[in-house]
Amino acid sequence: LHDSYDPNNIFAKIIKGEMPSIKVYEDEVALAFMDVFPQSEGHTLVIPKLVQARNLLDMPSDYLGQYMLKVQKVTRAVEKALTPDGLMVSQFNGAPAGQTVYHLHFHIIPRWEDKPLGR
């Protein structure tokens, strides 16, 4: 949980443009793009751009508020675009919790009454 940030992780490369992604929102604070292995239609990831944080635990508090506002903004945009019945917003800290990429990200996962999650 407390390892140092790897500046060459996949999401850092996406920010730098060294790795392709399908971007749906970007400003100076955050970047949102489609998950390559979507758990439902519209599965989107939102990552902070201003700081190098592996997870929520090491995200500097001074940057958290502005980043979370972008998570909400993108969640609202996904809701408007796809009109799901619900939206899961999730975030994992450490491999035992399911984290596989070590740059802070929130998952926005649209849900429909009649559709189970699946890849």
Beta strand spans in the chain (E): 23-26, 30-34, 44-48, 86-90, 106-111
What is the token pair recorded at 41? 């239609």
Q: Is 95 in the site for ligand 5GP (CB under 6 A)?
A: no
Residue with CB nearest ligand 5GP? 37
Identify whether the C-beta of residue 71 lies closer than 8 Å to the C-beta of residue 106.
yes
Q: Is 49 in the site for ligand 5GP (CB under 6 A)?
A: no
Q: Is 106 in the site for ligand 5GP (CB under 6 A)?
A: no
Q: Is 93 in the site for ligand 5GP (CB under 6 A)?
A: no
CB of 37 to ligand 5GP, least distance (A): 4
Question: Catalytic amino acids?
Answer: 105
